[in-house]
Structures are given as structure tokens and as C-alpha cells.
Amino acid sequence: MNDAVKSAAPALFEELSAANGKRIGVATLNVEKTLNAISLEMVDLLDAQLRTWANDPQIAMVLLQAAGEKAFCAGGDLQGLYRTMLDQHASGQSTDIKSNPYACDFFEREYRLDYLIHTYPKPMLAWAHGIVMGGGIGLMAGASHRVVTEKSRLAMPEITIGLYPDVGGTWFLNRMPGQLGLFLALTGASFGAADAIFARLADYQLEHGQKQALLATLLEQPWDGKQDDVLLTRTLLAAEQQSKPAFAAAPTPLRQHFELIHQLCSAPTLDEVVHNIVSLQTEDTWLQRGIATLVAGSPASAWLSHALQKRALHMSLAEVFRLEYVVSLHCAARTDFAEGIRALIIDKDRQPKWQPATLAQVSKDWGNGFFDDPWPEKDHPLADLG
């Protein structure tokens, strides 16, 4: 592969030699012009290389980073998926969630990659600088060592496109303190580094300018290929975090409004939760943006986010990915997901026509249809996970 072709690849890989002869694998998301959006090609490249490194005894750890200064990853590349959804709807096969081969492939392979990261046998350091949204959080959430910086902005804004927080979001949102996970799913609210740590999505808060010094320190270590490498990485990151005063933190709304959020979202029904949020009288601009997003978002997405977190409360990570796979294919087969992409990304009129148009019109039977699984358990495309 020549240098021009290689540099145009959506993911780049290199190996750096450590002092004792071991190597650090560096994977770089490389689509800066689209904020490193996840394509099927990127997924396949990452999956193959991460598996190769997992089986290579000379690779001590992996660094997952991104090209450019703006984003780690702003989510999935939805344009190709959008076209296949339109074709599926036009074909009259929307009742068969298996009738969109591209969607089946995309979600299966993306979720396999996310699960691989969650269960990776070696230390993986995700350097989540800049925008980290949707599928980008899916990539970072499972890493054993997750770093956020002064420019990190995280969100799961799928309600704005008629989807729900997938890529394992059902699992990790459920594990946030209090009711933060449900609030973030319903409002798509964004937050910075300190709140990412508070919400258990990140582990370390460093300045972006510390990365090269940290990498140099990592290359000096006596890696042994054993579990001690995880502790070693953790110790080095903690030391680097303490080496400089904490950078000036932006307001941390999740921590600031934690008690209020917990109160708003602890109501027994979704109708009550939504009523609590949208009727809140506040001068806080962060809360106002969240309220506006919920009001404008897909009612079906709100219903799904709530139902999934209830349904998956005691599921394993593998079970959650199998559940999300089925639900995501139902989203592709129904109308809101394509309509949300059209309104936000294709036509950019920001005037989606949601179906159903209100939460009151989302019947339980209609909503439960998202969970209809056409595969016997042993034949599920993700049956082998876990």
C-alpha cells in the first residue's frame, strides 16, 4: 500500500518500540474532515488490527487516539445507512428487519468491535480529546484506561435522529450514578471532562499537551505481558494526572445538578419523568438546552431509551449488545431513524416529522414491537459474544 492510499485510510496503525523490546500498538481514527465518524471500513480495520495485537505477545498495550484537534469521534457515518433505510422502506419489506443487509452488517460489526474493546485482554488507553458522541463513546467506554482532556465534550444525542443510545449505551448509562443515564438519554445533554469522570465514562483528566510526555513514559516501562501491565498503566496515568494542577474546569453541570436530575427522573413512569423535565422552570442554559432537545426529539426514541434501561438492568454486557442489535434493526426498518437523519444531516431543515408525533401516541404494544427478535437464541448474529 503506497503512502497516499495509506494516509487516506479511515484508521491508521503503527507500533512503537518500548525500552525492553515490547511494543505499543497505536490505532488512530483518521477521518478528520468528518470528525472521525465511524464507517464500516473503519470498524473492519480496527477490529482486525486489535485482534492481531491481542494475540501478539510482543504488544504490551494499545493506544486508541484520533487525528486532528476537533474530535475523537463524533459518532457513526450515517449517510450510507440512510440510503439503505430508504431502499428498505420503498421495497415494502420494513416488517422484516433482516431485509436491510447493510444495516445488519453495520450494527453487527460495530457492536462486535465495541464488545472487543470492553473485553480486551491488554491495557487499552483511549485518548478522548475533543468531541466524543454516540458511536465515539461506544469506542472509548470499554477501554481499560479512558482519558479526557480540557477540550473533551461528550454526549449521546441519538434522540435528535430518531435512534437511542446504542453501542452499549443501554449498559453504561444504567451504571451511572443516580438517574444520570436516563437524563442524558432523554436530553442528549453534553458534558466535559470532570463530568465524564463523575458519570463513570472516563478515568483520568489530563491536558492534551501531556500526551507526548505520557507516551514517552509508557515507552520506558518494563512491560511483562501479564496482568501487572494494567496496574502499571493505571499507576502511570495517575502520576501524570497529579503532575500538573488540574486545568481550569468548565462548569460541571452533571455534578452541579445531580440531586435535581435524580429527583426529576425518579418518577415511576416515563410520562411523569418527561413532564418533570419539560415543566422545569430554570434560568440555567444547560438545562434549558436539554429540555429543548427532549421536546424536539423523537417520542419513540424517548420511549425506547427508558424501556431499554428498565429491561436491561440485570443483563450482562453481551446480552445488552444482542438486545441492542435487534432494536437497532427495528429502528432502521421504521421511519423515525431515517427521518431524523434527513432532517439533521441530509436536508438540514431541523423539522423532523416524527411517527408517532407525541409520547402519548406511543402505545405499549407498538413500542414492544422493537424487541421482537426473529432469530432463535442460538442463531442470533451475536450469539457467540460472552
- In order, the DSSP letters of 294-351 are HHHS-HHHHHHHHHHHHHTTT--HHHHHHHHHHHHHHHHHSSHHHHHHIIIIIS----
Q: Is residue 7 part of a domain?
A: yes
- Number of domains making up the chain: 1
The one-letter code for the residue type at 347 is D
User: How much is the pLDDT for 8?
Assistant: 86
137 φ/ψ angles, rounded to the nearest 5 degrees: -65, -35
Across the strands, what pairs with 14? 26
Q: Is residue 385 part of a domain?
A: no
Looking at residue 173, which CATH number applies to its domain? 3.90.226.10
Given a cut of 70, the residues of the chain with pLDDT beneath it are: 1-6, 226-227, 245-251
Q: How far is CA 99 from CA 41, 83, 298, 323, in A?
A: 21, 14, 24, 18
User: How much is the pLDDT for 246?
Assistant: 63
Q: Is residue 128 part of a domain?
A: yes
pLDDT digits (tens, 9 = 90+) for 61-79: 999 999 999 999 999 999 9
Q: Is residue 156 part of a domain?
A: yes
Q: Is residue 181 part of a domain?
A: yes
pLDDT digits (tens, 9 = 90+) for 350-367: 999 999 999 999 999 999
User: How much is the pLDDT for 131?
Assistant: 98
Q: Is residue 296 part of a domain?
A: yes
Question: Is residue 117 classed as helix, strand or coil in its secondary structure?
Answer: helix
Q: Is residue 373 part of a domain?
A: yes
The closest of 321, 323, 333, 292 to 96, measured between CA atoms, is 333
- Chain centre to alpha carbon of residue 40: 15
pTM: 0.96
Q: Is residue 384 part of a domain?
A: no
Find the domain containing 62 and state its range.
Answer: 3-379
